Chains A and B, each alone.
Chain A
Amino acid sequence: MRRVALAVGLVALYALPLAGPSEYWMTIAATACAFAVLSQGLNLVYGYGGLMSLAQVTFWGLGGYTSALLAKDLGWNPWATLPVAGAVAALAGVGVGYASLRLSRHSFAIVSLVAALLVQLVARDWQGLTRGPLGIPGLPALRIGAVVFDSATRFYWPMLTFALVALAVMWRVMRSRIGLMLLAIRQNEPLAGSHGIDALAHRLLAIGLSAVLSGIAGGMFVFLLTIVDPSILDFYYTESMLIMVIIGGPGSFWGVTLAAVAFTVVPELLRLTSELRMVLYGVVLVGAMIGLPAGIGGLIARRREKQWRARLA
């Protein structure tokens, strides 16, 4: 039953462009794929690893800039830039994690924020490398043989494929021993340590994996935009990811995935200006922290637990 549903869902996802939606809606669909990877990456680091990372946008942006520079300045094939984009992002993630986790989870949150702001500044001010606020326009499109993915409708297929692979990898890791150990570390680090679990190594692994996938997603996405500029490092992405993970429920794979799609599509339907959208997200974040700290996913999990307990009693 489950498999059938999954298969039908997959076919529907791949058939979406055939239903003939506009370029606008296909851009949103491709963005939703990217956000699914980004927010699931944050979910792996925060929901499982217990680390509040504010540098996920940096991994995505670093990936975007790396791919853009390699393709534009060195003339690389766009596909070949993607592994490098992932590697650069991973290096940044593991570097920030290694330096700050020696102190505490708290310092990780702060250092990741400072890293995110620094990369924003560098992208804007290091004109020699990044061309400053104007960005790097005229990026080539992804292509396989004679097929050029130069419109959102066509780009959607490779983006969807990557998103599915990335989600599958993260799902696998969350369900594996590594995921269990991350949960153990999150719940009680000294106890986990006394059982011989290396907290730092597992956390760096989670950060590294989410950075690689976010970096590749960013690298791919700039070939749809055909331009990369400092707005790819904008706080807008951080806040969206946080909303998706918090409302979806940290640690809940499907909750976060659904929230990623919902929070990409719904704001488009509301047609808010970007400032008002950010204000609204901020209010939702503050409200959720006061009233609903485990998100909707957490609420459902708690209700289910209550039902189980009632049945046992």
Chain B
Amino acid sequence: MTAGYLLQLLANGLVIGAFYALLAMGLSLIFGVLEIVNFAHGEFYMLGAVGGLLLINRLHFDYWTTIASVTVMGACVGWLFHRVLLRGLAGRSFERSLLLTLGLGMVLQNGALYVFTATPQIVRTEFGVSSVLLGDVRFSVVRLLALAWAAVGFIGLYALLYRTRIGQAMRAVAENREAALIVGIRPERVARLAVVVGIALCGLSGAALAPVYVVTPTMGLIFAFKSFAIVVIGGFGSIGGAAITAIALGVIEALVGGTVSLVLADAVAFMAMIVVLLLRPLGLFGTGVRV
């Protein structure tokens, strides 16, 4: 095994980890603010990829417009999702929101299977398969751009949460719901924004990764599976914890997959989750008391 190969694995792991992070952060944000675990999260990511596929292959949009439009569409879908389905559930039982989002996920996934069939499809961007050489590591252009989009997503989310009043309100609700209500934060506005941002990040991730991999209606499952494990490992509702865990997991998976076996790579997330639950049930970055 050469150093170049190792670096290549690391780089691939970093890209996938960055997107695990975007999804897991959205999931964590929605859980923190609404106390709802969005089991349809992976399917929204799939919809983003399908959106990218349709815009580029059918409507011949260029790469940049596509990603921007899919992200905006994701935000609109998030608004609708909150307005129609989640709003009525505020403060109701955990199981109801779980089954509702699970049912929605099934509708989306199987609806997509019915319309597009299970055949994997390739997104043909204007960059084709061209690649650049950075040191010893060869990056395809779309992969490098995906990494840049992930960075945009990170910076955007960070700026929203730490540099705006509404972002501060979101963190306040996630940290202590009652206290946030007492100081006059309107929970519904904050909840709506959390869902909009979370689903917009799904759209961005789907559209940015669609040209890197292939698009199939079942692609959301594996990402959802990893994001849930990441949220448990990082600690429920801890957005920073989700980000760090996600990137670490992406890199570890790539290394294990490239050197040992792919089956083991998929199992890493699960094993890490069980170990963390046994040793540190609140998650690596979790704080506060058990609920």
Contact = CB atoms under 8 A, between A and B. Distances in A.
A10 interface: no
Interface stretch (A25-33, A108-116, A213-221, A258-266): A108-116
Given A52-B95, A246-B99, A102 B113 contact: no
B228 A113 contact: yes
Contacts of A283: 103, 107
B96 interface: yes
B273 A111 contact: yes
A246 B98 CA distance: 13
Interface stretch (B46-54, B141-149, B184-192, B263-271): B263-271
B229 interface: yes
Nearest to B117: A275
Contacts of B113: 275
Contacts of A231: none
A111 B94 CA distance: 15
A46 B98 CA distance: 13
B58 interface: no
B110 A279 contact: yes
B37 A114 contact: no
A189 to B, nearest CB: 11
Contacts of A147: none
B106 A279 contact: yes
Given A99-B277, A118-B267, A126-B263, A282 B98 contact: no
Interface string B224-237: 11001101100010
Interface string A265-286: 0000000010110110111111
Interface residues of A, number: 43
Contacts of B110: 275-276, 278-279, 282
Nearest to B286: A103
A285 B277 contact: no
Interface string A52-69: 101000000000000000
A125 B104 contact: no
A150 interface: no
B290 interface: yes
Contacts of A109: 37, 94-95, 98
Contacts of B281: 102-103, 107
B135 to A, nearest CB: 32
B59 interface: no
Contacts of A282: 103-107, 110
Contact of A118 (B109, B225, B232): B225
Interface string B14-33: 00000000000000000000
B267 A122 contact: yes
A249 to B, nearest CB: 14
Contacts of A293: 93, 96
A279 B111 contact: yes
B263 A289 contact: no
Nearest to B262: A125
Interface string A233-253: 001000100100010000000
Nearest to B229: A114
B90 interface: no
B74 to A, nearest CB: 20
B291 interface: yes
B277 A118 contact: no
B129 interface: no
Contacts of A176: none
Interface of B: 37, 39, 85, 88, 93-100, 102-107, 109-111, 113-114, 221-222, 224-225, 228-229, 231-232, 236, 262-263, 266-267, 269-270, 273-274, 277-278, 281-282, 290-291
Given A239-B102, A279-B106, A283-B103, 12 more contacts: A104-B291, A110-B231, A114-B228, A125-B262, A125-B266, A239-B106, A246-B99, A275-B110, A275-B113, A279-B107, A283-B107, A290-B85
23 contacts: A54-B102, A100-B277, A106-B37, A109-B94, A109-B98, A114-B269, A117-B225, A118-B266, A121-B266, A122-B263, A122-B267, A242-B99, A278-B107, A278-B109, A282-B104, A282-B106, A282-B110, A283-B107, A285-B99, A288-B99, A289-B100, A290-B100, A293-B93
